[in-house]
Structure 1
Amino acid sequence: MADPRFAVVAVRLAGLAGIAFGWRPDDFWRATPAELAALVEAGAPDMAMPPPDAALIARLQEAFPDG
């Protein structure tokens, strides 16, 4: 099973953003969830999801704490 820690998943998403959008890692880390969602929706409108709200982010942080 893949490592579910937030940091590991975020690094994978940064790599995918590089492949899909030509972003460097710094571009990914400076982008907001809404900016990333806008690009995903433009590229695949049927697959886009809304960016996470504050409550979801808090639940994820609780479920996957950093170190």
Structure 2
Amino acid sequence: MRLRTRKLVGTILLLGFLIAYSWAAVAVGAGRIALAPPLAQFAYFLTAGLLWVPPAGFLIRWMQRPD
């Protein structure tokens, strides 16, 4: 696959992943975590806020791989 095509596919996948991930994180945060103690809420939102980084990093690394 050429670099240009890989970037297009990767961008579409990354946007889809981020949209789905953010919806899931918000759904869990609004449902179960809303009633949790403040420290548990902080831990959840810190974890959920950083958990998307490794998959996005792998996808970006794949997109930048030379031909």
Instruction: Give the TM-score category using the shorter length.
Output: 0.3 to 0.5
Bigger Rg, structure 1 or 2: 2
TM-score after normalising by structure 1: 0.33
Higher relative contact order (CA 8 A, sep 6+): 2
